[in-house]
Amino acid sequence: MRPVGDGPYLQVRDLRVRFDTEDGVVRAVDGVSFSVERGKTLGIVGESGSGKSVTSLAVLGLHDPKRAQVTGEILVGGRDIVGLAEEEVRRLRGRDMAMIFQDPLSALHPYYTVGRQIAEAYRVHHSGATRREARQRTVEMLGRVGIPQPERRADQYPHEFSGGMRQRAMIAMALINDPDLLIADEPTTALDVTVQAQILDLLGDLQDEFDSAIILITHDLGVVSQVADEVLVMYGGRVAEHGSAQRVLRQPQHPYTWGLLSSVPSLHGDADADLVPIRGNPPSLINLPPGCAFHPRCPHATDRSRVDVPELLPADEPSHLVACHLPEPDRLRLYQEAR
Amino acid sequence: MSLLAVEGLTKHFTARGGVVRAVDGLDFTVRAGQTLGLVGESGCGKTTTGRMLVRLLEPTGGRIVFEDRDITHLGRRAMRPLRQDLQIIFQDPYATLNPRHTVGRIVAMPLTVNGTRPPGGVKKRVQELLELVGLNPEHYNRYPHEFSGGQRQRVGIARALALRPKLIVADEPVSALDVSIQAQVINLLRQLQRDLGLAFVFIAHDLAVVRHFCQRVAVMYLGRIVEIGERDEIYERPRHPYTRALLSAIPDVAKLGQSEGRIRLTGDVPTPMNPPSGCRFRTRCWKAQDICATEEPPLTAGVACHFPEPEGAP
Ligand SMILES: Nc1ncnc2c1ncn2[C@@H]1O[C@H](COP(=O)(O)OP(=O)(O)OP(=O)(O)O)[C@@H](O)[C@H]1O
Ligand SMILES: Nc1ncnc2c1ncn2[C@@H]1O[C@H](COP(=O)(O)OP(=O)(O)O)[C@@H](O)[C@H]1O
Ligand code: SF4
Ligand code: SF4
Ligand SMILES: [Mg+2]
Ligand SMILES: [Mg+2]
């Protein structure tokens, strides 16, 4: 039975993750809030080091409490997992929530057959299931994610699979317990573009079938535009912009989002024109610039940007949130002018 | 006249379990001051090709002609005068920069090895190079780990420019970079090409990136070129089914998830140890006929397919 909670399946409120390192305190996630409903996909985008993976590991309860300090609320099906005993979180993981990583080899053990590992993931959460049932369910799932001859493939080892097939196997393993929440961290980054297209289609189909909530983390705006209902743009461990994919990708209001979009080389438009990059480099999370963390790279920064951290506030619609000091009319005008 | 001409270029590796036909008969030319993009999925032979062009790998067959001179099997010593003209930039700048050397020493290395004495001295030349690629000349005494990924790639580019080459093979020079930094480096390469008249063989798996830097494009599949032509021909009017599928698979922000006209290939790229008979793409091609399994389509008029899209079709 699925827990009947109120509202979205996952609710994250004011999440903060900090690491104490030799070089100083890393504020990898600094006050991030979002929620995801069943059947919906939230895309989290941002450059490397912006805190995307640390966010996803926190939601899965995978941070080592000795190294990472996690605060805030993470409500999974109505239950706060921050501070919950490790054992309880482990029970949720794999059954209620599951994950897919960039590198399937890191999730698959080289010495066991693919089928055995997936069946094991099933039996952990179905203690009543026989070996046979687990095997049957595994083969079914391998077929479901598009692996040809699943009976035979189940008895092969990970190295006998191609990159795309390994990623499918990992998806099969993640979905075997019919999780309510699936977190995919750069699931297609290591794949070829034709295989990436297959995997993204597959995730969409499986979501329709299982009605799970999905968080898709990627640095690729194209990928996000293809699958996300909502988009959250992270910069320096904070949320720069958050809203429907339509709003964030079509009517973006944050200068960082503009910069990301104008940097992406396109298949259309003038190929002879220079791209419009963001100047400078992403900041170090140990030493975040004061005020708006984006100000050293922002062409529109004001004196206030250098001092005050901008709040994340509603813009043209209540669910479209933007953290920028510029007044909305100025943002709309600047974006139009830049296009 | 072409700066570089390649005919029947082939590289087979002997590996456990058989012969890997990594590159299997390529023909192409690169004109002076122009960029040829080499695109295709992982394992299709791009890097192997690039490394043969700069003589880091010995070809199994075929010819490489640089400025009318056959360099296919030139030895190290005979290559030395040509080293100046032919340089390479690698994908992972970190792996190719010696962590114990200063940036100044790294960029100066080709000058030192080649015995080149630039007017004004090596240090002055190196500082000019650093400036040229958008680094601060004062970075001369810093070490690679003090730089970001994009800056390290700039160091690699400065090093490749040190001997004022005519042709640079750039193997995925921006693939490991964040999108904002990637755009900075692409713009830099474009500017260098304009200002210095450099020719490039630009290797990439991202067709959108290639579109912004290349005048001509060759699409590879399993060690062969399946289509080659002017940039706009390839992007606006692709004729080979694989080129069309590749373009169609790129998720485009402008489309926002719309899926009409989308082509989806099934399956993965077969192994180059055992490529399919006839047309190598036939196991994934929706247009395949009997002849495709028996006869390999030759590369004629820029396309290797028995049933190409008509020329000029949108
Ligand atoms: N030294 C080697 N021994 C055996 N096989 C090799 C060797 N080097 C490359 N190969 C094989 O040759 C084929 C082409 O490799 P290559 O590195 O040129 O591909 P690529 O197009 O650059 O791919 P990617 O996009 O992944 O960089 C692959 O199947 C690869 O495994
Ligand atoms: N275990 C850790 N200890 C210290 N710093 C960490 C740790 N894990 C991640 N970080 C830092 O947190 C920041 C965000 O990392 P991450 O979430 O992995 O970024 P990305 O957005 O690329 O996924 C980075 O600066 C990273 O170096
Ligand atoms: S707050 Fe200032 S620096 Fe930050 S994005 Fe807005 S204009 Fe730019
Ligand atoms: S030759 Fe046949 S199999 Fe190959 S691309 Fe053309 S139609 Fe497809
Ligand atoms: Mg990450
Ligand atoms: Mg390569």
B180, B217, B255, best to mutate vs chain A, most A CBs in 10 Å:
B180
Predicted local confidence at residue B294, as pLDDT? 98
In total, the C-beta contacts within 8 angstroms joining chain A to chain B are 132
In tens, the pLDDT along A174-211 reads 989 989 999 999 888 878 888 888 889 888 888 888 89
Predicted local confidence at residue B313, as pLDDT? 59
Provide, for chain B, the percentages of residues in helix, strand and coil under a 3-state DSSP scheme, each rounded to the nearest 5.
35, 25, 40
Q: Which pLDDT band holds residue A288 (cuts at 50, 70, 90)?
A: very high
Q: Which pLDDT band holds residue A331 (cuts at 50, 70, 90)?
A: very high
- The CA-based diameter of chain B, rounded to the nearest angstrom, is 67
**B1 CB-near residues (< 8 Å, 6+ apart):** B31, B32
Question: All domains of chain B, ordered by start, with CATH?
Answer: 2-261 (3.40.50.300)
Is the pLDDT confidence value at A5 over 60? no
The answer to whether the CB of A312 is under 6 A from ligand 3 is no
Q: Provide the 3-class DSSP secondary structure of residue A334.
A: helix
Q: Which of A171, A213, A271 is nearest to A37 (CA)?
A: A213
3-state SS record for A161-217: CCHHHHHHHHHHHHHCCCCCEEEEECCCCCCCHHHHHHHHHHHHHHHHHHCCEEEEE
Please return the burial class of B161, using the count of CB atoms within 10 Å of its CB with bins 0-12, 13-18 and 19+: buried
Q: Is A336 on the interface with B (CB under 8 A)?
A: no
Residues A232, A51 contacting (CB under 8 angstroms): no
A250 φ/ψ angles, rounded to the nearest 5 degrees? -100, -35
Q: Is A208 on the interface with B (CB under 8 A)?
A: no
User: CA-to-CA distance for B60 and A4, rounded, in angstroms?
Assistant: 66
Tally: H helices and E strands in chain B:
11, 10
C-alpha distances out from residue B38 to B26, B47, B55, B224, Å = 11, 9, 17, 11
Q: Which of A211, A311, A284, A260 is nearest to A44 (CA)?
A: A260
The ligand 4 atom at the shortest distance from the C-alpha of residue B297 is 1
In this complex, which of B211, B249, B266 lies closest to A193 when CB atoms are compared?
A: B249
| Beta carbons within 10 angstroms of residue A205's beta carbon | 13
Chain A hits for B181, Cβ within 8 Å: 47, 277, 281
Is the pLDDT confidence value at A6 over 70? no
Query: Measured between alpha carbons, how far apart are the two ends of chain B, in Å?
Result: 31
Q: Which pLDDT band holds residue B111 (cuts at 50, 70, 90)?
A: very high
C-alpha angle with apex A109: A103 to A113, nearest 5 degrees? 115
Residues 270-289 of chain A with CB under 8 A from chain B are: 271, 274-279, 281-282
Ligand 1: distance of its center to the CA of A323 in Å? 45
Chain A hits for B212, Cβ within 8 Å: 265, 271, 275
Q: What would the two tokens of residue B170 be? A: 């750039």
The ligand 2 atom at the shortest distance from the C-alpha of residue A237 is 14
Q: How far is A165 from chain B (nearest CA, A)?
A: 8
Residues B71, B79 contacting (CB under 8 angstroms): yes
The answer to whether the CB of A305 is under 6 A from ligand 3 is yes
Q: Which pLDDT band holds residue A284 (cuts at 50, 70, 90)?
A: confident
- Listing from the earlier edge strand, what are the strands of the sheet with A213-217? A97-100, A181-185, A213-217, A41-45, A230-235, A238-244, A321-322, A313-314
Q: What would the two tokens of residue A11 be? A: 């609710």
Q: Which pLDDT band holds residue A330 (cuts at 50, 70, 90)?
A: very high
In tens, the pLDDT along A37-60 reads 999 999 999 998 899 999 999 999
Q: Which pLDDT band holds residue B284 (cuts at 50, 70, 90)?
A: very high
Chain B hits for A147, Cβ within 8 Å: none
Q: Which of B264, B270, B303, B302 is nearest to B286 (CA)?
A: B264
Helix H or strand E encompassing A18: strand A10-21
Inter-chain CB proximity A260 and B264 less than 8 Å: no
C-alpha angle with apex B147: B143 to B153, nearest 5 degrees? 105
Ligand 4: distance of its center to the CA of B222 in Å? 14
Q: Could you tell which of B10, B48, B51 is best to mutate to test the pocket of ligand 1, judged by most ligand atoms within 8 Å of the CB?
A: B48
Q: What is the value of ipTM here, to two decimals?
A: 0.87
User: CA-to-CA distance for A278 and A261, rounded, in angstroms?
Assistant: 10
What's the rounded mean pLDDT across residues B183-197?
A: 92
Q: Which pLDDT band holds residue A83 (cuts at 50, 70, 90)?
A: confident
Query: Measured between alpha carbons, how far apart are the two ends of chain A, in Å?
Result: 50
Predicted local confidence at residue B248, as pLDDT? 92
Q: Provide the 3-class DSSP secondary structure of residue A234.
A: strand
Provide, for chain A, the percentages of residues in helix, strand and coil under a 3-state DSSP scheme, each rounded to the nearest 5.
35, 20, 40
Predicted local confidence at residue B314, as pLDDT? 56
Mean pLDDT, all residues of chain A: 92
Q: Is B236 on the interface with A (CB under 8 A)?
A: no
Side-chain-facing half-sphere of A11: CA atoms under 13 Å: 11
Which residue is closest in CA terms to ligand 4's atom 3? B282
Q: Is A202 on the interface with B (CB under 8 A)?
A: no
Amino acid identity for residue A259 in this structure: G
Is the pLDDT confidence value at B264 over 90? no
Amino acid identity for residue A219 in this structure: H
**A118 CB-near residues (< 8 Å, 6+ apart):** A138, A141, A142, A154, A169, A172, A173, A176
User: CA-to-CA distance for A39 and A67, rounded, in angstroms?
Assistant: 34
Residues B66, B165 contacting (CB under 8 angstroms): no
The ligand 4 atom at the shortest distance from the C-alpha of residue B226 is 5
What's the rounded mean pLDDT across residues B226-248?
A: 96
